[in-house]
Amino acid sequence: MAEARFDELIHPSTRLSIVALLASADWIDFAFVRDRLGLSDSALSKQFATLEDAGYLAVERPLSNRRRRVRVRLTDAGRDAFEGHVAALQAVIATADLASPTP
């Protein structure tokens, strides 16, 4: 169980969605993330840049069938931050449930 640590960088809904997708995969193609989140290329690139600057995400550009593809993956730091954030969210809920137990 990760140590609960609320992460303000991850919490905004778009970045949370990106990191949540990446957390279940070894790597994901740029197009897959863009299509699932319904974002434009530029909007997604901006979010990727923010996460990459924080050291949470790594961008790779492998050559496949003579086409340059863009793959992204969470770094170890990004995975730790995500797991800590999930634990923090669960802690908020657990605290609320303790404060108002259901009969």
Partner 1 sequence: MANDITDAEARLALRSIEERRRQVIAEIDMPRWYWWGLALGWIGLGFVTDLGHPWVTAAATLAFGAVHSGVASHVLSGRHRSSQLSVRADVAGPSVAVVVIGFLLGLAAVTVALAVLAEADGARHPVTAASIVVAVAVLFGGPTLMAAVRRRAERHSGA
Binding positions for partner 1, rule: CB under 8 A: 4, 6, 8, 11, 13, 16-17, 20-21, 23-29, 31-32, 36, 64, 86, 88-93, 95-97
What phi and psi, each to the nearest 5 degrees, are found at residue 57?
A: -140, 145
CB of 28 to partner 1, least distance (A): 4
Please choose, from the candidates 43, 40, 47, 41, the residue with its C-alpha nearest in 3D space to the C-alpha of residue 18. Answer: 47
Residue 21 or 50 having the CB closest to partner 1: 21
Residue 46 C-alpha from the chain's centroid: 14
State the amino acid at position 73 in one-letter form: R
Work out how close the CB of 31 gets to partner 1 at its nearest, in angstroms, rounded to a whole number.
Answer: 7
Select 40 or 99, whichever has its Cβ closest to partner 1: 99
CA 41 to chain CA centroid, Å, is 17
Alpha carbons 43 and 63: distance in angstroms, whole number = 24
| Both structure tokens of 56 | 């949470």
* Residue (27 or 55) nearer to partner 1, CB: 27
CB of 16 to partner 1, least distance (A): 6
Least CB distance from residue 98 to partner 1, whole Å?
10
